[in-house]
Structure 1
């Protein structure tokens, strides 16, 4: 199964592009669930200027999707039509100290690596990132948090590129952080951020990070093919408690299963398809609604199209950007 190859046409339309274009890149290779169809075109920009050039010159009718490291993502079995942007650590993974207590970090820097570099620099307040799978770009988009802290507590400003290629800078007020989301428009792509820490003793910081690692190991299926926390916590209650009370612990659909260790995690335990995982999540939502009256909201992002819609949703270029 594949989409029409757009790479030759895009290369002609954007001769100044420096990043890599790949047709029908397998997304199952890039997501932690290890499921999903291909990206019609995968673009890995060299730097923020290359990203801005691409966005400014893409054809207007070409859908654009941004993915990160694939830790909190279900790509449907039909894949992702259009232009898929994936920032890589080579171009967007730099981490450097700024002043006494700041860290400038690229959007593709792994959260855990940022926490580790901060600890080695004697900066506290960023330990919570060591318990969050994914990258800084995703953490900014969803105001990621754990162990009592969130991105809103540490972001000084964030840099981004708009859908028209414009370079943008967001203050904390601009970001509009709330529980597991920001107010920034979906078409905006984060490229970097300045994070604020606090000077502290390195052994004390590393001890707190060790506690976080031990807690994750004991309470979460970190060695399984999973996408992290599946549903947001409703006000005043933990999602896992509602799922457990609805009798969903260990529930299976095809090759997908609700974790018996932590039932707000779904697992690809036996060659599951993306549709297995999504159907399992929807079954959990239905059972929780029936048992408690609470509507669970997905925290995992679901993108792409079902397999049966590939032919009708395939993208073919019709002309240059106007």
Structure 2
């Protein structure tokens, strides 16, 4: 069978980044599940990303991913292209004023927190406990410990599906709880963040508090995707899961953590089908128990295998 890369012929001959046909998504996600993607592209820099998108036919879907910390890729793989920003081209953090940092979208949240600490800029300690990259934080308004991304962002830089560069203000991102209204076709490449001057020892103390909390209540050494479901308004998702009797619940090789029951883990041999089936089982049980239909926080992507389709719980899916 001709690969997508072969089918594209010379259209991508000018790009400088790495192109891989049939890359295994299970190697790129923290859950360690998922079938192959037709084409994986790791651009060298922003200009290289723009060139790739300009030359890719419009009918080929494109999906940007970060470090894969909150992605559940289905066993049938992903159609089209996946773009994974390289650490070399998009993983820098640079102090540009007394209280501002320019950060690439591929930099891990934890590294941005460290860079802010080194610069004596407060307000970024919450990123120390978020297991993802800045691109994902910008897209979903990631937050923890009472602080959200919206409180730190000044402007966001992105490339659209046509390869055009955009600069969005904080207001134009349209942030709300775990959500932004930025157009879905935008691939974030960097952003300017602002904090406030603070003593390094004070910043370090807050970062240590975040780390201690994570190690105490979260299964951070497991193959997991972080929080599985968003908190319903005024309530905690984990309490809904627990009250529905789903702490420790298993489907195949997937389990709701005994330690933190809003964390879903791959105990060793789970498939994407196992994990998504478990999540939807939990959603059904919570709906039956309290009338609340939990919303997924983990992003589920790709194709189901034949005869292994997971039906969503509730009318909203």
**Root-mean-square deviation (Å):** 1.2
Pair 1:220 & 2:218 matched: yes
Paired residue secondary structure (2:161): coil
Query: What residue in structure 2 maps to residue 245 of structure 1?
Result: 243
Task: Give the Å deviation of 1:4.
Answer: 4.2
Pair 1:102 & 2:105 matched: no
Task: Give the Å deviation of 1:64.
Answer: 1.0
Q: 1:309 to 1:247 in 2, by over 3 A?
A: closer
Contact 1:239–1:296 at 8 Å: present in 2 too?
yes
Inter-partner Cα distance in structure 2 for 1:26 and 1:4: 17
Q: Give the counterpart of 1:283 among 261, 281, 284.
A: 281
Query: What residue in structure 1 maps to residue 172 of structure 2?
Result: 174
Query: What residue in structure 1 maps to residue 311 of structure 2?
Result: none
Task: Give the Å deviation of 1:5.
Answer: 1.2
Query: What residue in structure 2 maps to residue 120 of structure 1?
Result: 118
Inter-partner Cα distance in structure 2 for 1:155 and 1:219: 28
Paired residue secondary structure (2:166): strand
Task: Give the Å deviation of 1:16.
Answer: 1.5
Query: What residue in structure 1 maps to residue 263 of structure 2?
Result: 265
Matches within 5 A, 1:80-99: 80-99=78-97
Q: 1:11 to 1:134 in 2, by over 3 A?
A: farther
Q: Give the counterpart of 1:143 among 138, 141, 144.
A: 141
Task: Give the Å deviation of 1:14.
Answer: 2.2
Pair 1:165 & 2:163 matched: yes
Paired residue secondary structure (1:267): strand
Unpaired stretches in structure 2, ≥5 consecutive residues: 309-317
Q: Give the counterpart of 2:292 among 289, 294, 298.
A: 294
Inter-partner Cα distance in structure 2 for 1:25 and 1:238: 37
Query: What residue in structure 2 maps to residue 315 of structure 1?
Result: none
Query: What residue in structure 1 maps to residue 208 of structure 2?
Result: 210
Inter-partner Cα distance in structure 2 for 1:141 and 1:11: 32
Task: Give the Å deviation of 1:309.
Answer: 8.5
Deviates more, 1:140-149 or 1:7-16: 7-16
Contact 1:11–1:17 at 8 Å: present in 2 too?
no
Inter-partner Cα distance in structure 2 for 1:118 and 1:65: 29
Contact 1:131–1:213 at 8 Å: present in 2 too?
yes
Residue correspondences, number: 308
Unpaired stretches in structure 1, ≥5 consecutive residues: 311-322
Inter-partner Cα distance in structure 1 for 2:47 and 2:123: 31
Q: 1:44 to 1:245 in 2, by over 3 A?
A: same
Task: Give the Å deviation of 1:181.
Answer: 0.6
Per-residue CA shift, 1:255-288, capped at 9, x if unaligned?
0000011000000003100000000000000000
